Structure 1
């Protein structure tokens, strides 16, 4: 499908929104399902830009998706989703295929199941990566930055990948243990994604993600009210020089995440911790071997079925042995606050009915490691800043 240009995107928004609202019941009669959602956001910051030029207030923040599935045969399902998403310079608002896959469940019983998916599959990672496409299923307007790298513009790469996926689950008493493993040999990056990975700098080279593997082992009990999970992600980055250039290299990224969630009648608690290792070599920076980490803790309290309060503390550190960035500043002269971010978030969520939702979040952030580089190409980054996010969404 031809990508829609940014100039034409307002008309595309209208067209896709019409599809979302006007999808009708005959699809269900064909043993298929059609769902979708539309959300418009607003961002304001007192320093640093996010989701566009937010220091002036930005509406450059929207999501539209239409997804469907068709049962082709017993055990064989086809599903996919079209997406339009704008998030400042991190996403361009063009229409694209978010995922499209065939799912064959070759084993199924009362206490077990197993299957394989091929195509552009959703990636298992942490608690929320494979549900981050819909605002109603996320832990907030903005995903926890320490785990899901929202500000780094890596949503497309993390959410889905072209390849194959094996999955299975086993009931053990009150517990349901599941495993999902995905693999993808090579992914081509967009120009913006290449610049995101190099901190906003355009290199005279092309970058490709190679040997991209993810896996998640999860245990659920108490009817799914309690969950723990362990996730692994490995990706290699090849830097191949353009003609006449000597810029080259290879970097491996390894991420390990521990996750926990507990749901009660009036409240929910969740927490995740990540260790990320970056190891490799480039012609412009030499050898690198760095260990970073991060975590968040979030609580949600349901005042009543329609209103929910949220509080989150989210912290990330590029180097876990230099959490305040002082060693980095001493050796490079750079800003120490560019090596960490600590985000205290307070939010309120209103669901007037099953179709509509309104969200509001206030972020107080110390540190600038999660400031989107493409939204801040030249200006110095502030170390102490605030962000207001608002979003209204519709789903069917």
Structure 2
């Protein structure tokens, strides 16, 4: 039995058997149901031009048995069209120790938890805490979700007053939690082999006050690949080494948010035998999001999101010559127009429209299908969500 499995068993047993003795016990959760329609693409919707199987839900428990110590867990259900098969699993499960020294806070946690990449990684699965139904794919790619999101390991963190705001920092080490969804999104099928995590290292720092929010994240994530007999691929690995710069400015009823990713994607094996050597691509992604907060709890936003697989080949011409797929699979430009309405504290209705040129984040990654994916395509999404807390 692995240490993580032992930790899961201990934490869940403690929560279930000792909740009546808890000094602080919080229960919360949400459920969201969505709809996606796409033109000239099978992204999310598959063979149909629409999908109703856009469902996510979670039930979370946070317990402080004694001062300084907290254990937290959440069970989640997620079905996101063709990107993720429906499953109930642990979203996070960790033990945490914190110590306050004056206005400063220090702590450590161990177990299964969400990464802290950029502004929204740790809360990207909660409709109420993310800015849109689909996050900007240049920073929060759905096809690489498993290589970035759930971390099995530990981290240390701190919070300190600085000027007129607060400074947060976090150092993380561990491995990411790989599922069959990752195999399918990269290779197109789950029986072509499987990926496994090698390591995940990250450092994150963030400053925030009433008007601005600034962040910087570095992360290094590597996954290895073991082929099956039928896949035709070679053993190998994929490594992402990225920096993410984040900024947000708020003025009255307006908010401007931008994030910028730069780094390298290194691939060895997979499409080519290992003896051919790997290749390294300098990647680039960024978005700008402008939104306004109107009366009656209504938000309107417009966002431009850009992703380039290889900055040495911005128009994808070298990609087309090397892999044989159209050049537009090497980049993506996404204009998004959306609205969110908090009908009450517990209810949220969100709608958005995407007009996209390019397909660099359309699955499957290593075997794109031009026959079902146009250069210019569009997508409409809507979702209604409900949350609760006891």
TM-score range normalised by the length of the shorter chain: 0.7 to 0.9
1:125 maps to: 117
How far did 1:141 drift?
0.5
Q: How many residues align?
A: 364
Specify whether residues 209 and 388 from structure 1 end up closer, same or farther in structure 2 by C-alpha distance, changes over 3 A only.
same
2:216 maps to: 230
1:121-152 residue CA offsets vs partner (Å, 9 max, x unmatched): 121110110111211110100011000002x1
2:315 partner SS: coil
1:219 maps to: 207
Mean CA deviation greater in 271-280 or 288-297: 271-280
1:166-219 residue CA offsets vs partner (Å, 9 max, x unmatched): 1112212313221111111x4563233123234x25675432111211221111
1:148 partner SS: coil
1:240 maps to: 226
Query: What is the correspondence of 1:148-167 to structure 2 with a 5 Å cutoff?
Result: 148-150=140-142, 152=143, 154-167=144-157
Specify whether residues 188 and 269 from structure 1 end up closer, same or farther in structure 2 by C-alpha distance, changes over 3 A only.
closer
Structure 1-normalised TM-score?
0.85
1:197 maps to: 186
Which of the numbers 245, 251, 263 marks the counterpart of 1:276?
A: 263
Specify whether residues 386 and 54 from structure 1 end up closer, same or farther in structure 2 by C-alpha distance, changes over 3 A only.
farther
Mapped to 1, the partners of 2:233 and 2:118 lie a distance apart of 38
1:197 partner SS: helix
Q: What runs of 5+ residues in structure 1 fail to find an aligned partner?
A: 1-25
Which of the numbers 56, 76, 81 marks the counterpart of 1:88?
A: 81
Kept in 2: contact 1:205–1:248 (CA 8 A): no
How far did 1:283 drift?
6.4
Kept in 1: contact 2:22–2:64 (CA 8 A): no
Mapped to 1, the partners of 2:25 and 2:81 lie a distance apart of 34
Mapped to 2, the partners of 1:314 and 1:280 lie a distance apart of 24
Mapped to 2, the partners of 1:241 and 1:363 lie a distance apart of 35
Which of the numbers 354, 366, 369 marks the counterpart of 1:363?
A: 354
Mapped to 2, the partners of 1:323 and 1:28 lie a distance apart of 59
Mapped to 2, the partners of 1:164 and 1:323 lie a distance apart of 37
CA-based RMSD of the aligned residues comes to 2.5
1:60 partner SS: strand
Specify whether residues 333 and 283 from structure 1 end up closer, same or farther in structure 2 by C-alpha distance, changes over 3 A only.
closer
1:53 partner SS: coil
Mapped to 2, the partners of 1:28 and 1:392 lie a distance apart of 36
2:138 partner SS: helix
2:41 partner SS: coil
Q: What runs of 5+ residues in structure 2 fail to find an aligned partner?
A: 1-18
Kept in 1: contact 2:183–2:193 (CA 8 A): no
How far did 1:380 drift?
3.1
Kept in 1: contact 2:325–2:368 (CA 8 A): no
Mapped to 2, the partners of 1:251 and 1:289 lie a distance apart of 10
1:308 aligns with 2:295: no
1:3 maps to: none
Mapped to 2, the partners of 1:243 and 1:370 lie a distance apart of 27
1:145 partner SS: coil
How far did 1:28 drift?
11
Which of the numbers 69, 79, 96 marks the counterpart of 2:62?
A: 69
Kept in 2: contact 1:309–1:348 (CA 8 A): yes
